[in-house]
Structure 1
Amino acid sequence: MAAVRVLHCVAGLAHGGYESLIMNLYRCIDRDAVQFDFVSSFPGVYESEIEALGGVIHRIPFITQKGPFVYTHALDRVLAQSPRYSIVHSHMDKFSGLVMRQAKKAGIPVRIAHSHNTRNEGGLAFQVVKDYYGNMVLPNATHLFACSRAAADWMFGPEANRAHILLNGIDPERFAVNEMARASVREEFGISDECLVFGHVGRFTPQKNHDRILDIFALIHKQAPGSALLLAGTGPLLDEMRQKAARLGLADCVHFLGSREDIPRLLQGMDGFLFPSLHEGLPVTLVEAQAAGLPITAATTITSEVCITPLVKQLALESSDEVWARTALEQAMENRPVRSSPRQQIAAAGYDIRQTAAWLTNFYLGLAQSYDPTAGGPRS
């Protein structure tokens, strides 16, 4: 029997929170039973891996590139292809409303809207557009997913309680404490073992608050002059943050790493993780950092659902940079001699990706068996 092909709709395939979740699932899911295909607008590092795993990538221009009509027309062509998809799973937050509407028009029987955030990005006009499409989610989606209760509340409002919380699982074994990896990271960046290394993984966008990360690290560096900061990610604010690091006199100790495929290794080289995001759904990178035994100083704007272990210390964004710097330093110094991987806690909390992948495989198969994909309706 041929595998059920699920069409995942995403903006792009670069490193990011929901992209990491999808790829973690894709690597672990039973691909003899379920196969992933993608609608994507922006290229990214995952494309070659997806194709090697048997996935098809339908590349179409994004809404912000050529407008909603061009995007809709291109999406309609994908949805009309034969053999027809019986399941469409959209990860585009409120833009998922457009995907759900077109999938319903195309007769796709299973339409999943998945919330990965708790707030719109962009300026006022962009937010108005997203809210417009967000109003299309509930009338057109057949199933609702979210990464956290807060993400469900934001996107689904009165229907949030019927959303399934699909935890942002990881493979804990990939993040197990590894002294060789730690040594190789420090050698790569010329950092001695005695020095403290802080880090962050995330796109350079306003949401991630890199401006604040640099202010906090500037104070850390004053108290620990040999300390370094590793920033993995790309995005529109990257050049601006490079310039700020230079203005703060930190050009030699702040390392801008770009998009990296060795995040588990990089986490091993750190002693502390800074995460003052303005808002998040449930950041998978914080689950990864905990699996690596890394102490985290995170904002209270992030749902407490991510606090799987005592490694996470949450502070209000209103707290001073001095409080953030002191807390991060204390955590790093306290944890450094006794670092270990809390694999059992990660698994017990439901964040082992193998558990999630097994559940999702059964979920997809159960839905697919209930519908005739050639007729677009329930089987008799």
Structure 2
Amino acid sequence: MIRILQCVNDMHRAGLETMLMNYYRNIDRSEIQFDFLTHRPNRSDYDDEIESLGGKVYYAPRLYPQNYLSYFKYMKEFYATHTEYKIVHSHIDSMSYLPLLAAKKANIPIRIAHSHNTAIDRDFKYFFKSYFKLKLPEVANYYCACGKAAGEFLFPGKKYTYIPNAIEIDRFLYDEKVRIKKRAELGIKDEVVIGHIGRMSYQKNHKFLIDIFAEILKSKNDCVLLLIGMGEKLDDIKKYVEKLGLNDHIRFLGNRADVNELYQAMDVFLMPSFFEGVPLTGIEAQFSGLNCIFSDKVPTEVDFSGNCSFISLNEKTEKWVTQILHNCDQTGRLLRSQALKGSQYNIKNACKYLENFYLQLDEKVNN
């Protein structure tokens, strides 16, 4: 059996983490096992399930600049103890430089950097992330990406392997009964439901999203906005909603295990992000038959259904409002959903490809 060390920040319910779990649940675990190196001190949403599937979860120091010395000490001891890992697959974009540098120092033969985004988040580590992006080719010897734009961003001029952000489609295909049940649970009757799923962070551009929704309410008052996710900007976003007097129309639902059902309750999916790779939520929303409205910073390759619109972030909110309200019609949603079953984003199709990718790498190690 091959054990792959997947490097992540944590394993809470978010896009990248959910994508990894989709592959993990469906991969042939008699041949390939996932373990997870996280960079948070506490357990995460998926840890129990990982362990139930035979995986292990490790907790390395956080990747703060003041922790770098202790981080490399931890990783040196880790690799000295865990000699079973020949393949390390890192999913933290430019920050992958750090775990892959540690892996190179430990003579790990296969070191994979995986790109999931098309820009660097402008937080306090922006300088370090920009520098590490330039240094990645010194420590990675294989590259993966969720899409063309993400690959070209993090690995300019490099050859990379495309790994689709695949999902377990049967959980997301449109179901009218689930829609009725979930809307009843949420206390929603005939209101138009606009949905957004994403980490409460700079990247997702929640302030503009709320500005758009406030404009929608001026012309159509019977609307509800569902915000699903957690993050460092949550308190700021809640304060902004309160400032605009929108508390009665906006539901903060936190991290949820029932997102597949929440899509059914929505009428349209909205994502005005500053940057994205190929957002997993955009894939899920399309499988549920929803029309999706994205910013022009989301790569158009996410649109595999023909049911997506892309609007410039420079456009006034009025254009967003018109497009959103035009795409709330549920007519033909079941047919839109069912027509996508054969997609590359079906985990049953994608998982075999990832299995072969790992098996070929393992063969290289052993030859």
Distance across 2 between alignment mates of 1:231 and 1:368: 42
SS at match of 2:293: strand
Q: Structure 1 residues 191 and 303, CA, compared in 2 at 3 Å: closer, same or farther?
A: same
Distance across 2 between alignment mates of 1:344 and 1:75: 46
Aligned to 1:144: 143
Q: Which amino acid aligns with 2:360?
A: G
Aligned to 1:361: 355
Contact 1:63/1:70 (CA < 8 Å) preserved in 2? Answer: no
Q: Which amino acid aligns with 2:67?
A: G
Q: Which amino acid aligns with 2:35?
A: D
Distance across 2 between alignment mates of 1:112 and 1:86: 11
Aligned to 1:23: 21
Distance across 1 between alignment mates of 2:343 and 2:332: 22
Alignment match of 1:268 (pick from 261, 264, 271): 264
Aligned to 2:307: 311
Q: How does 1:1-380 map to 2 (within 5 A)?
A: 3-42=1-40, 43-64=43-64, 66-123=66-123, 126-159=125-158, 162-192=159-189, 194-333=190-329, 336-340=330-334, 342=336, 346-372=340-366, 379=367
1:218, CA displacement in angstroms? 1.1
SS at match of 1:12: coil
- Per-residue CA deviations over 1:262-297 (Å, capped at 9, x if unaligned) read 110000000011110000011010000000001111
1:86, CA displacement in angstroms? 0.9
SS at match of 2:328: helix
SS at match of 1:114: strand
Contact 1:176/1:341 (CA < 8 Å) preserved in 2? Answer: no
Distance across 2 between alignment mates of 1:370 and 1:34: 15
SS at match of 2:22: helix
Runs (4 or more) in structure 1 with deviation over 6 Å come to none
Identity of aligned residues (%): 36
Aligned to 1:376: none
Q: Which amino acid aligns with 2:29?
A: R
Contact 1:198/1:270 (CA < 8 Å) preserved in 2? Answer: yes
Distance across 1 between alignment mates of 2:335 and 2:76: 46
Distance across 2 between alignment mates of 1:341 and 1:265: 18
1:344, CA displacement in angstroms? 6.2
| TM-score normalised by L of structure 2 | 0.95
Q: Which amino acid aligns with 1:358?
A: K
Q: What are the ranges of 5 or more consecutive residues in structure 1 without an aligned counterpart?
A: 373-378
Q: Which amino acid aligns with 1:280?
A: E
Aligned to 1:375: none
SS at match of 1:75: helix
Give the aligned length: 365
1:81, CA displacement in angstroms? 2.1
Q: Which amino acid aligns with 1:172?
A: I
SS at match of 1:50: helix
RMSD over equivalenced CA pairs, Å: 1.6
Contact 1:100/1:136 (CA < 8 Å) preserved in 2? Answer: no
Q: What are the ranges of 5 or more consecutive residues in structure 2 without an aligned counterpart?
A: none
- Per-residue CA deviations over 1:142-199 (Å, capped at 9, x if unaligned) read 210011111111111122xx1111111112211111122212221122111x211011
